[in-house]
Every structure is written in C-alpha cells, then in structure tokens.
Structure 1
C-alpha cells in the first residue's frame, strides 16, 4: 500500500468516526429506550385502566353510560354521605363477563361504600338499601299498547310457536363494602388504593345492566371512590396521549395539592434553567450555555422529561409509603428511567449544538419525541419541543454532526 493510499484510508476512518460521534450514542439510546418500552408493555396489561369522570348520575334515569364495559375503565366520583348513590348503566351481551372493583383513596371506617348490581335474569342476593332506585324496564309496555296480533300470540302460546318477548325480570345483587386491611399499590398511576368491594359475573341474559355505588346509612361521612370496570386493557390514540393529564386529575381526586403534584416538575425546570444561566454567566460573563433555537428546544424538552420523571418518583414514593414495597413498583421505575435517560440525552445534545444543530441531531430528537409520547414523559410539552427541534434540525441543520 502506497503512502497516498494509506493517507486516504486514514482520512476515511477519521471522517467515519467523526460522523459517528452522535449517531453511536443515538443508537445506544434508542436500543435502551426500546428495551425499556418493551418491558413496560409486558407489564402494562396488569395495570392499565382508561380513566373516566361521571357527571350528575344521582338517579337511575340519569345513569352514566359505560360504553364497551368489557374494556378496562376506572370511573372516579364522590358521595356526599349516608344515603347518597351514583348510577351506571352498561349494555351487556351473553357470554361477556361483568367485572367490577370498588375502591377509595383513604381507607377509613367512616366511609366504606358498597355496590348494588342489577341485571336481567340475575339471581338476587341480599337486600338493596331502601334509597337505591331499581330499574323499571317494563313501564312502557302497558297492556293497552300491545298490538292485537301480539295479544293473540300470547293467548295461543301453547301452540309451540314463538311468542312476543316479555320484558326481562331484573335481579339484584348487593355487595356490602368492607374495611380493607391495607392499601394496594396501583402502578399505572401510581397510587395507593383501598379496596372496598368486588364483583364478577358471567352474563347469561343480554340487555342493560345497572350498577349503583352507594354510601350506607351507617356512613359517618362521604368521600371519593373509584369504580373499575372491565378487563381488556386497550387505549385509543387520544386516550393514550391524554393519560398524563388524567393522572393529574386522579391525584387531585386523591386529595393531593397542586404543589405536591406539579411541584417536582416546576422545581426541576426552574432549577435547570437557573443552573444553565448561572453556568453561562460564570463561563462567558453573559448569556447562557445554550446557543441557537435547536439548543433551546432540546434543553426545554429535556428538562420537562426530567421534571415528569421527578413527578413520578415522588408519587411512587408516596404510594409505596402507604402500600409497602411491592413488585408492581417495577412499572413506574421503568417510566422514571426512560424519562430521566431521555431528558439527559436531549439536554446533552442541546448544549453541544449551535444554530439548528445537525441533521443527525434532528433524527435523535425525533426519536426522543417518540419515546416521550409512548412513555408519557414531558407532559406533552417535552415531546412537542423535541419534535420541533428535530424537524428544524432536519430542515435547516448541518449535514454533519457538530
């Protein structure tokens, strides 16, 4: 090999290494994030519920409709006190399983709600409280409204021919709430929840089923409750995107203050920018260590990712302090790890870039944005900033990494 060929080979190796300066860490980040996402989805079916909030459903005629009751939902509500009731209705098909779980965020003897399940063809068990309204499916089927042909069919039922279908008779099952021995750790939120009642029944008669959540007359006070319905864990795209905001509402339902919920995020973002300004003034006497629009967007995304990681860490520690250590803590640990790793990666790229950075950095930030959307990091602000930084770098950035 001649000297000239040797120089050409060395130049080629140098340029390859230079181009790989950002792409190799990017590949490592993507592999690690992918493994964490895969691990979280393997655990997710044991924990995921789509959150709902019901309206003014204090009468059975205003029962809150639960669409697709085999899908896993959690409906959050409250009862004012003894004798207060909330009603829910569900269209069930023969062969479906009606699965219910009732819980509270406090677990005090002063408020232990119960369930009344009402369904067509259901074998009754227990005596419903007098203040719980019963369904009246046959009120519109008065005798004078029945056509003559149908009346003749009923009179000649002994023919063996099929007659008009009569309204189904509703049965009721009462599940009185019990004071839980301790809290269960719910990893999806995460939260510490106190189970009060549960019910599961294979549906044999299709039709409209009703569920009443009530505070017994012995309740010394009212309180908040959650009703979990169904068992199939699935999300629409919009439901998935809005989960972080639903979780904030759930923590408010638990009775937490805004400071407890959002404080870790705000403190992280403010402290992060403050530290960067302080470091910039110290090194340059003016300005910050962030240079260019790509840097500002990437660093903002990174700080929001870190902030949501801190939010989740605080909530996990609060829940575990009530429920005790459990294997379910693995799920929030995965989300915390993804948020912190993604945030640190975005900040690192942002601080090393000027202007719109490079196209390679742009691809990296697009990856960060995708990870944030799938793993609920950054409270949507982070992923939006990451996508904006990535798109800007791909369009306006340099061809080679800096």
Structure 2
C-alpha cells in the first residue's frame, strides 16, 4: 500500500548505523559510535536561557510561517556581514532544521525528470529529496587525491540540468572548496542558466581556511539558494532550526510548502537562534579548536594503520580509504562485530565511496584513542 515514490528512496544509512549501535548498547555492549553527525557538546547557556525566557514570557503560540521577524533580520545581517550576500529579511525563510529546508527547496524548484547534480560522495539525504521531487540525480565524480573536488563537471550538464548542489565544508568528506573550484561551478551555472543550492551548515567548523559563499560571486546572487542553520555550529541539533536565503519566488514557493506541512519552526526556539547569532561566539571557537585536536589524533592514527585518510578541511568527519582491508561495507561490519566500533560505510554516500568508511569524530579524545586501538586489533 506504500506510495510508489517511496520505492525510489532508501532509508537513511547514517540513521540505520546509529540505530544498530544503539540497539547493541541497550544489550549492554560498550559501543564506540562514530556514526551520527552531531556535536557532542551542550548548547551554550546563553542560547538556552534566551529560549527559556521566550517560552516563559508566552512565546509559545504559532509563529509566522517564514519565521519570527527579529530572527529573519538577524540572519540577514549575518549573511550580509559574514557571507557578503545582499540579503534582506524578506529573502529569508526559517525552517525546522536545514534538512527540512533542503526538502522544501527540491520540491519547490525541481519538476518531474529534471536533473540535479551531486558531487560523489554526497550527504545521504540529498538524493532522496531529489527523488521525492520526481527528479533524477546526476552523480559527478570527485578526486579524493585533490580534496574531493569535482572532475569535469561541464561534461555532466545537459538541457535537463536544473540544479547543482554544493556542500562546503562537506559531509562525508570534510572537503572545503577553494575559490577557483567555486568559481568554476559558478561559471558553469551562469553559462547554462542553472540554480545552485549551497549547503553551508558546516561553515563555522573549518580549519586553517576561510569559508566562501558561492552566492557572493558575481552573477550568482539570484541563482544561489543558500542553506544554513544552527545545529552544527552552536550544538543545537535537537532544536531543529535552519534557514534559507534565496530570491523571492523561491522563498514564496518554500513558504507554500511549509505552511501546508510543518507550519513554522518552533516559536521559542527561534529566540534561541537570535541569541546564537547576536551573542558571544567564543563557544563556537572553543568547539572548533577541540574538533581540530580530535581530527589530528584520528587521521594520524588511521594513517598509521595503513588506512589512507586526508585531513579534512572542515566539518567533523574523516572519510577513510579502507581498501587495504576490504571494501567499506565489509570493514564496517567487521569493526562493529569484532571491535564494537560503529562507523558508516562510504557506499551510503555514493558509488565512489565503496572503498571508504566515514568516521565522525564528534566524541572525546579518549574515545577516539580507544577506538583506534580497537580498530588496530580488529584489522591486525
């Protein structure tokens, strides 16, 4: 009795891996889980206080569909100042998480048999969202030896190409695209009249580089849909708060979907978002510093085990080549069974990931070190 569109979509591989690990934990097994993309830090206190204050003063009713005006204004200010976008509050829609934003975008801009470009490997939920919209995914290969940058993108563009998805810093690879790479994507989008969805949810979790928003490039203002949120940078995953900046017709379409589905983001949560943007940013800096130390420990440890892994430029994932020990699916199963270490097989993110595993280092240095020791013993 299921809808035919559901047959086109697989369940989330990252959620599946996390659920298996949680089930084993409930059975009393000590699992070291490197699966979910969630900071292990608490939301900063000033953000929690702002949301609680809003709740207790009565901000518990329906919010405007596009978001609380004060939050939309704060987001616009942030985008103008930090991302160099020509943003105004009217060009912003606040959503219950960036994932919901991406779903609404796909449903708003894609028609049946349109094509959307993903760079392989790509986050697990882009492809299902494209398929739910009735469109098709065009997978463009990337070069793991060169920062997972797309290879020969222009060769995959045709008259049905409607959208290119850019995720930098990226999941699962942690890749950060430099200006030259982004400019090439922008030039192709302009020359072929294609929209770009720029998912910038990891923009603040970046190491020794500077984030660049493709929407700030010449000619890209009206064809870029910028997605961001609060989950990663402010450790607010459970708050479900994201946002989109785009031209007015796209925002209008998204608002139509939002008003008939989730209505709006939670009212008092949005006041926490205002505090996140306008309050002290030191907690973000401290969190990124700790992620960097974890990254270095993990990547150096993996390479010492003959698991080839480049240091990611951002996010909190290592995308490791385990081909010396088998393909990613085989190694994932072995690590869970023999080492009680949970990772995500790279094949979940695209065909090119078959020899890889994704390891989230959103856990303590102690657990990372223990995980490395368990992996070494299992693969010896």
TM-score strictly above 0.5: no
TM-score, normalised by the number of residues in structure 1: 0.22
Q: Which has the larger radius of gyration?
A: 1
Higher relative contact order (CA 8 A, sep 6+): 2
**TM-score computed with the length of structure 2 as normaliser:** 0.23
